[in-house]
Amino acid sequence: MLNTFIYWLTQKRWLVFAIIVGILMYNISAPAGLSIEGYRTLIIVVMAIILIIFEPIPLPAVAMMILIMQVLLGIDTPNGVAKSFMSDAVFFIMGSLMLAVAIISQGLDSRLALGIIKLTGNKTWKIVIGFIAISAFLSSFIGEHTVTAMMMPVGLTLIKNSGVDNRSTAKLAGLILFSIAYGSAMGSIGTPSGGGRNVIMLGYMKEFGVVNISYLQWMKYAYPILLLEIPLAALILWYTFKPSQLILDSAVRKLKIHVTKRGSVSGNEILTILIFVFVFLGWVFFSSKVGLGIIALIGVFLYMSFGLIRWEDLNRNTNWGVIILFGAAVSLGLHMKDTGAAFWVADTAINWMKMISDDVSIIRWFVAVVLTGLLTNLLSNAATVAVIGPIVLNMGGDTLVMGFSTAIASAFAYLTVVASPTCMIIHSSGLVDKSDYLRAGWKMFIMSVFVLFFISNFW
Amino acid sequence: MKFLIAVGSKEFSEPTLRVGLQVAKAFKAAVTIVYAGPKISEFSTSQVRFTQERMEEWEFDRPGVEVLEWAFNFLAENDYITPTSIEAGFPKNTLVQTGGNRCEVYLQGTICKDVNLILRNGDIIAELRDEVRRGGYDVTIIGGSQKRRMAHDLIQYINSSIFVVNKYDQHQDYNLLLPVDDSTHTPKAVQYGARVAQAFDVKVNLITVSKTDSFGEGYTKASQLASKMMRRAGIAHEHRFETGDPVDVIKKTAGDNHIVVMGASTKNPLFKFFTGSKPLKVMEDCLCPILIVK
């Protein structure tokens, strides 16, 4: 019995720590200039961050804790909390996760494989650039993990047919798998629909009265970053995981044979693509009126109506826990704004920065971007934007640039396995080690920060 | 009896599997071989599972299946499973999902009664603890780890005897070292030691260590009983009384050419958590396989 309790305590030590921190903070009076409600909101933020990073309890339990505490600590009424929980951003996250399931289920990965090989040929360096570019391009529209899931079998076919054992293909595996994961992560900044956190940030910008950015305007700002990052990422990955196999002749041949077995394009595959094009056009032309989330849900509705995906499959493969958590995180973010907690944190941060220099414009930008980038590697990108977004938009300066840069920086999920589902998917192949993420990731991180800085200031 | 053998990879787990099956054979135990893959973050569980399902359509096995397949081949080569099972080949298609992160496949054993193969994902200690709780295993067998914390957690949290197959070399001649004292677990350790000695056909070195020059009545009785049991089982053995710190003496005597079998500590779990125990200290620095009997 005592041993079971000790075991529980060691497994749940971060939960116990979070509770102790919460109780201690609750018993300290609120700092000057911060309302009681604002201070209590910050207590929930601190506890939630600890629990999300260390995962001592299931993520939906963290979400429930956030919602419960917002009511019990008197931050908002039950109806107020419920209203803030569901938004277009949450609809979008739910819709895009379901769209991903619908698209991946159709087996379009084979078509994709053939397309890539036709474009790149059999030289390894060309294949790597092709993988990064195509992953980036696709993920800017359909979400990073969808692309990674489709590209993984293609990449693995090349890796497994390129050497006699895992040791001889270790570097090639790192090169190809990180091309997919990092390409997808980079691409997710390309359009608002590339990731849930883009939509969360757009929602916050609307709340803060910042000028409304259309789908195409976002692309105009974000795509140059993406186009600059693609060749730089290819260089970084090539020199980090330089493989001994410079030509993948037999692997490419085997991939072609595998793909040819699938036969010609089926009606369902054509319909899948057509519906997605329809959804994409909806995002471009109607998202400012009906919202990105509703359009994503229209797509899901169409996939189900045409019988392309069954509800059972959607239900089984959609990560409901993540949706609930992001809903709660957005609710927390909105309460940070409403209670003045976000403003207080931003103001305190700016005052600290002023100790370094009176002109904080560049420091402010770097702090926002680097902090977002680092937190995204620990917390997940959407949760990071949900928590950091309201603070950054209160930091002053050009709120459009600050908000946009924060959303972009949340894609710098290169450093850890848990940074994003794309990183976890390639890790689950068993072919890349945890240390490989840092090996390539820190270079990618620095490169991305400087590209973003360059575009933010000169575009 | 039921044995659980934890394997990690084809490259490093062969000694664990070899020794584990040899011991299981001596005990005529049912054997389960488990592979625990890395923990998947909750943010990504659905996406990872879905991707793995896609990969199966491209005829790629999910990670860990190749380790189980290697274990199957090992069992087949060493005749631990029936010819029918061997002829049918590794039944990867019958890997049954029996929980969120657990799959299993059943095989018919020859010398050991049943042989199950299990694939899990998650923290190794949590997964082994859950598996032991679920299957009621008597002994958990695992390879050595360089993480000191691992030894502590295995002894503290796994509710079965623990056999750590540390630095085992099948070409080396081993003896069995059996520390004997008046603790509660010693009689069971002596029984297990006798079986292991028979399995490996090795001589048993019984050792009783006291911090002072005098050996109490409990110590003498325990050592007499142990000698008697070895004699009855027809196992070659010798007995020594040593003075000094038990942990140091046991480690020094064990060297790298003994299989150590000793009883678990009966200390309060809270004391064990903070101050450790003799078996833990021996296990942490031992250069040879060690079985801690609970």
Cβ-based contacts of A54 with chain B (< 8 Å) = none
Q: Is the CB of A428 less than 8 angstroms away from the CB of B48? A: yes
Say what the pLDDT of residue A69 is: 97
Cβ-based contacts of A321 with chain B (< 8 Å) = 42
Q: Is the CB of A160 less than 8 angstroms away from the CB of B37? A: no
Contacts 24+ apart (CB under 8 A), B52-59: B52/A428, B54/A104, B54/A109, B54/A149, B54/A150, B54/A152, B54/A153, B55/A152, B55/A153, B55/A156, B57/A107, B57/A153, B58/A109, B58/A153, B58/A156, B58/A157, B58/A258
Question: What is the tens place of the pLDDT at every residue in A141-170?
Answer: 888 888 898 888 888 888 888 876 667 788
Q: What is the mean pLDDT of residues B204-228?
A: 87
Which residue in chain B is spatially nearest to A144 when comparing CA positions?
B47
pLDDT-derived band of residue B261, with 50, 70 and 90 as boundaries? Answer: very high
- C-alpha span between A154 and A131 (Å, rounded): 10
Say what the pLDDT of residue A383 is: 87
Q: Which residues make Cβ contacts (< 8 Å) with residue A212, sequence separation at least 6?
A: A205, A206, A288
% of chain A beyond a pLDDT of 90 = 56
Residue labelled with tokens 């409901």: A320
Do the domain assignments include residue B119?
Answer: yes
Residues B160, B187: one domain?
no
Tell me if chain A has a CB within 8 Å of the CB of B46: yes
For residue A448, pLDDT over 90 is answered with yes
Q: What is the mean pLDDT of residues B168-186?
A: 88
* 8 A C-beta contact, residue A400 and residue A211: yes
ipTM of the complex: 0.82
Looking up residue B144, the CATH number of its domain turns out to be 3.40.50.620
Q: Is the CB of B58 less than 8 angstroms away from the CB of A321? A: no
- Range scoring the smallest mean pLDDT among A7-21, A188-202, B19-33, B265-279: B265-279
Q: Is the CB of A153 less than 8 angstroms away from the CB of B273? A: no
Indicate the number of domains in chain B.
2
User: Which among B48, B64, B156 has the least Cβ separation from residue A424?
Assistant: B48
Residues B121, B6: one domain?
yes
* Residue range of the domain that includes B280: 175-293
Do the domain assignments include residue B25?
Answer: yes
Residues B183, B271: one domain?
yes
Do the domain assignments include residue B276?
Answer: yes
* Residue range of the domain that includes A451: 2-458
Question: What is the tens place of the pLDDT at every residue in B28-53?
Answer: 888 899 998 888 888 888 888 888 88
Closest among A345, A389, A403, A399 to A87, alpha carbons compared: A389
Cβ-based contacts of A107 with chain B (< 8 Å) = 57
Residue labelled with tokens 């000695």: B197
Q: What angle do CA A449, A450, A453 make, to 5 degrees?
A: 90
User: Which among B46, B47, B60 has the least Cβ separation from residue A153?
Assistant: B60
Question: What is the tens place of the pLDDT at every residue in A349-368?
Answer: 998 988 888 888 889 999 99
The last residue of a domain, from among B101, B136, B165: B165
pLDDT-derived band of residue B178, with 50, 70 and 90 as boundaries? Answer: very high
Do the domain assignments include residue B15?
Answer: yes
Cβ-based contacts of B126 with chain A (< 8 Å) = 11
Say what the pLDDT of residue B116 is: 86
pLDDT-derived band of residue B266, with 50, 70 and 90 as boundaries? Answer: confident
Residues B87, B114: one domain?
yes
**pTM, full prediction:** 0.85
For residue A452, pLDDT over 90 is answered with yes
Residues B146, B19: one domain?
yes
Q: What is the mean pLDDT of residues B186-205?
A: 90
What is the number of CB-based contacts under 8 A between chain A and chain B? 96
For residue B147, pLDDT over 80 is answered with no
Residue labelled with tokens 């991707």: B51
Do the domain assignments include residue B243?
Answer: yes
The HSE-up count of residue B245 (CA atoms within 13 Å, CB side) is 9
The last residue of a domain, from among B128, B146, B165: B165
Cβ-based contacts of A322 with chain B (< 8 Å) = 42-43, 46
Which residue in chain A is spatially nearest to B45 when comparing CA positions?
A319
Tell me if chain A has a CB within 8 Å of the CB of B44: yes
The last residue of a domain, from among B117, B140, B165: B165
Q: Is the CB of B37 less than 8 angstroms away from the CB of A430? A: yes
Cβ-based contacts of A424 with chain B (< 8 Å) = 40-41, 43-44, 47-48
Say what the pLDDT of residue B86 is: 80
User: What residues of chain A, 418 to 457, have a C-beta less than 8 Å from chain B?
Assistant: 418, 420-421, 424-425, 427-430
3-state secondary structure of B214: coil
Tell me if chain A has a CB within 8 Å of the CB of B130: no
For residue B111, pLDDT over 70 is answered with no
Residues B141, B182: one domain?
no
For residue A104, pLDDT over 90 is answered with no
Which residue in chain A is spatially nearest to B272 when comparing CA positions?
A3
For residue A291, pLDDT over 70 is answered with yes
Q: Is the CB of A428 less than 8 angstroms away from the CB of B40? A: yes
Q: Is the CB of A2 less than 8 angstroms away from the CB of B269? A: yes
Round the average pLDDT of chain B to a whole number and report it.
86
Q: Is the CB of A425 less than 8 angstroms away from the CB of B47? A: yes
Q: What is the mean pLDDT of residues A279-307?
A: 93
Say what the pLDDT of residue A164 is: 62
Q: Is the CB of A145 less than 8 angstroms away from the CB of B47? A: yes
Q: In this structure, what are the phi and psi dihedrals at residue A122, rounded to the nearest 5 degrees? A: -115, 5
Q: What is the mean pLDDT of residues B8-37?
A: 87
Provide the token pair at A259: 């793909």
Indicate the number of domains in chain A.
1
Do the domain assignments include residue B170?
Answer: no
Say what the pLDDT of residue B113 is: 67
Residues B25, B126: one domain?
yes
Residues B18, B123: one domain?
yes
User: What residues of chain A, 139 to 178, have a C-beta less than 8 Å from chain B?
Assistant: 145, 148-150, 152-153, 156-157, 160
Residues B38, B87: one domain?
yes
Q: What is the mean pLDDT of residues A323-335?
A: 92
Q: Is the CB of A55 less than 8 angstroms away from the CB of B44? A: no
Say what the pLDDT of residue A166 is: 67
Q: Is the CB of B58 less than 8 angstroms away from the CB of A156? A: yes
Say what the pLDDT of residue A298 is: 96
Question: What is the tens place of the pLDDT at every residue in A33-53?
Answer: 899 999 999 999 999 999 998
Residues B157, B190: one domain?
no
